[in-house]
Amino acid sequence: MGSSKFVNICGAQFGGGAPVRVESMLKTPLDNADGCIAELDALRQSGCELARVAFPDERCKADLKYIAEKSGVPVMADIHFNHKFAVAALDCGVTSIRINPGNMTNRDGLASVISAAKANGAVIRIGANGGSLGSRHTASYEDRASALVGAVEEQVRQLTDMNFQDIIISAKSSSVPETVRANFMLSAKYPFPLHIGITEAGGGMEGAVKSASGLAVLLSQGIGDSVRVSLTGDSVSEVRVAYAVLRSLELRKRGVNMISCPGCGRRRVDVGALCERVKAILPVDMPDGVTIAVMGCEVNGPREAAAADIGIAGTKSGFILFKDGNSAASGEIGELEKVFSPCLRDLLAKRVSRR
């Protein structure tokens, strides 16, 4: 899965067969350092493995240094336009930076960035973005996907010509097909770790679906070593959607895998209400990788429910509960908590004993 080369950021491997890493970006301005720390803590708890932070002004240097030291999540400084900001960020102790080939074109300045990155053992992400491609790039290629690839290629050559190899590459657009084409081309040409995402995907369900549609195409073909779901909304939601995509592709197991039927005229129970009752029983520290199924009837329900760690299927008189593939109990819906909780405790105890 993923790229053959790898880099390490704060002890976490990106590429080279490592798990697909989940990223986000701070929505809190850098000059609100305590707010950034609070957001980073929420991201850490949600499973975020790298958080990008915009560094638009050298006057925020003390703030960047503060959050780089205090954060429980590795921080990547996001740099545009001015190579001096990249050098300043590296001086603050960040172990990775993102530079944009669409607006970072000063070769002498790039040389100073590479020198600082080498001195600090830092990783450089080359992150091309469809919205910031220069006219020089768009005029030289037949379409924007090729222009994105060309922008990345140009900066990869500059870095490797200066004997710098700790590189992550990325090409994003708000167009799913454009992004997919660009990343297929990059993955075929380069062994470097590849960061993927659909930029400016929007918010809510539409943004999540747009992101998932692009990520799934790429990840299902082994393309992508880290992901960011770019949503208009809070950053924790980005992480939750990213893990939902990875769980659906069976690439990561963070969180509970909830399976439930859509409900139809055959259902014996209100499936949505039953799902909410089950979720309310689950402890906040549920281990990763537990599969729980909630099914509405006896047609497909028992077989689907039996395949889960714990499954519930609706019946004429209430429900039947399955554990590890076997029928374990049954009862009326009002007895759900009394029957479900002991089965859950037993499941969790067995998982702990296997560690």
pLDDT digit string (tens) for 195-224?
A: 999 999 999 999 999 999 999 999 999 999
Could you tell me if 244 and 269 lie in one domain? no
- Kindly provide the b/e burial profile for residues 226-258, where b requires at least 16 CB atoms within 10 angstroms of the residue's own CB: bbbbbbeeebbbbbbbbbbbbbeeebbbbbbbb
High-pLDDT (> 70) share of the chain, % = 98
Residue 75 lies in a domain: yes
CA distances (Å), 328 to each of 100, 306, 308, 323, in order? 57, 10, 13, 6
Give me the CATH number covering residue 229.
3.20.20.20
* Residue 325 pLDDT: 77
Question: Residue 227 pLDDT more than 80?
Answer: yes
* Mean pLDDT of the residues in the chain: 91
Quick: pLDDT tens for 102-160: 777 777 889 999 999 999 999 999 999 988 777 777 777 889 999 999 999 999 999 99
Do 241 and 213 touch, CB atoms closer than 8 A? no
Question: Residue 355 pLDDT more than 60?
Answer: no
What domain range is 334 assigned to?
257-354
Question: Residue 352 pLDDT more than 70?
Answer: no
* Residue 104 pLDDT: 73
Question: Residue 2 pLDDT more than 80?
Answer: no
Q: d(Cα 181, Cα 128) in Å, to the nearest integer?
A: 14
- Number of domain units in the chain: 2
High-pLDDT (> 90) share of the chain, % = 65
| Mean pLDDT of the 24-45 span | 96
Could you tell me if 60 and 195 lie in one domain? yes
Single out the residue of 189, 183, 258 nearest to residue 227, CA to CA.
Answer: 183
Indicate the pLDDT class of residue 353, thresholds 50, 70 and 90.
Answer: low
Could you tell me if 111 and 18 lie in one domain? yes
* Residue 354 pLDDT: 57
* Residue 81 pLDDT: 82
Both tokens assigned to 169: 């590459």
Could you tell me if 280 and 171 lie in one domain? no
| Mean pLDDT of the 275-283 span | 90
Could you tell me if 244 and 148 lie in one domain? yes
Q: Which amino acid is at 254?
A: R
Could you tell me if 67 and 143 lie in one domain? yes
Indicate the pLDDT class of residue 69, thresholds 50, 70 and 90.
Answer: very high
Residue 59 lies in a domain: yes
Give me the CATH number covering residue 315.
3.30.413.10
Could you tell me if 243 and 261 lie in one domain? no
Single out the residue of 292, 312, 290, 316 nearest to residue 301, CA to CA.
Answer: 312
* Residue 327 pLDDT: 84
Both tokens assigned to 114: 């590479």
Could you tell me if 68 and 195 lie in one domain? yes
| Mean pLDDT of the 169-198 span | 97
Q: d(Cα 232, Cα 36) in Å, to the nearest integer?
A: 18
Could you tell me if 90 and 57 lie in one domain? yes
| Mean pLDDT of the 305-310 span | 80
Question: Residue 94 pLDDT more than 70?
Answer: yes
Q: d(Cα 61, Cα 64) in Å, to the nearest integer?
A: 5
Q: Which residue has the higher pLDDT, 322 or 15?
A: 15
Could you tell me if 23 and 139 lie in one domain? yes
Listed residues 226, 248, 270: the one ending a domain: 248
DSSP string across 47-109? T--EEEEE---GGGHHHHHHHHHH-SS-EEEEE-S-HHHHHHHHHTT-SEEEE-TTT---HHH
Q: Which residue has the higher pLDDT, 346 or 11?
A: 11
Q: d(Cα 137, Cα 139) in Å, to the nearest integer?
A: 5
Question: Residue 63 pLDDT more than 70?
Answer: yes
Quick: pLDDT tens for 286-300: 888 899 999 998 777
Listed residues 248, 275, 309: the one ending a domain: 248
Could you tell me if 238 and 264 lie in one domain? no
Q: d(Cα 76, Cα 239) in Å, to the nearest integer?
A: 16
Could you tell me if 171 and 238 lie in one domain? yes
Residue 234 lies in a domain: yes
Indicate the pLDDT class of residue 49, thresholds 50, 70 and 90.
Answer: very high
Which DSSP state fits 127? E
* Residue 177 pLDDT: 97
* Residue 138 pLDDT: 75
Listed residues 220, 248, 276: the one ending a domain: 248
Residue 1 lies in a domain: no
Q: What is the CA radius of gyration of the chain?
A: 23
